[in-house]
Copies of this chain bind each other. A is one copy, B any other.
Amino acid sequence: MKERILAETERLFWKYGVRSVTMEDIAKQLGISKKTIYQHFTDKEEILYQVMLDKMVKNQSEMDCMPAKMANPIEEILSVMTMIQKQADQVNPNFLIDIRRYYPKAYLLFRQYKEQFIVQSILENIQNGVSLGLYRSDVNPSIMARLRVEQIELAFNCDIFPTNEYSMLEIQRELMHHFVRGLLTEKGFTIYNEHVNTKNEYNQSVYEKK
């Protein structure tokens, strides 16, 4: 039952944000009583916390499996970012806004995850790309890693990117390709161009050869 509650609540949070989803909604959706939910969780914030924790563990193990399959850091960073994009596109922008404003414990968890895991994994990717001559040797990897992480969150900010003007997918794709291109050396560009022109998922017609 606990797993069912978590799975269904996650779906509701992604779709509507956190604040507008009530315990009543969750119970109704599952066809159970609120009492049953309270047997497993003390309140909505506890469910949120557990949903986020599970998601982070799942993401982390997915990413851990990735590098082995990847031919090079450029392919790796584009794959990881495409994964993040796909997830971001399913999430109501209110989700992150709600967490930042109203759920400090969950927000702290997100920030810690971001700091310890996402920044770290992008940092390693950049260092790896520099050592292979695919990224410029004059970048500051830690500034760039932090920039990239903030860009993911930036896309969720409706004050900056009003949802009626831009789609989440469009923003994330635009920021991702701009970020990677800003790092590349000439050698890197060759690999990047091959990659975006052979993979349909990157919409080859849009990304012209440099």
Q: Which residues of A contact B (CB under 8 A)?
A: 136-140, 142-144, 146-147, 150-151, 154, 160-161, 165-166, 170-171, 174-175, 177-183, 185-186, 206-208, 210
Contact of A182 with B185 at beta-carbon distance under 8 Å, contacts A174-B140, A174-B144, A208-B138 already known: no
Query: Closest CB of chain B to A138's CB: distance in Å?
Result: 5
The answer to whether B181 touches A210, judged by C-beta atoms less than 8 angstroms apart, is no
Chain B neighbourhood of A181, CB < 8 A: 181-182
Complex A-B, nearest 3 residue pairs according to Cβ-Cβ distance, in ascending order: A182-B182, A178-B182, A181-B182
A139 CB contacts on chain B under 8 angstroms? 174, 178
Contact B140 A160 (CB under 8 A): no
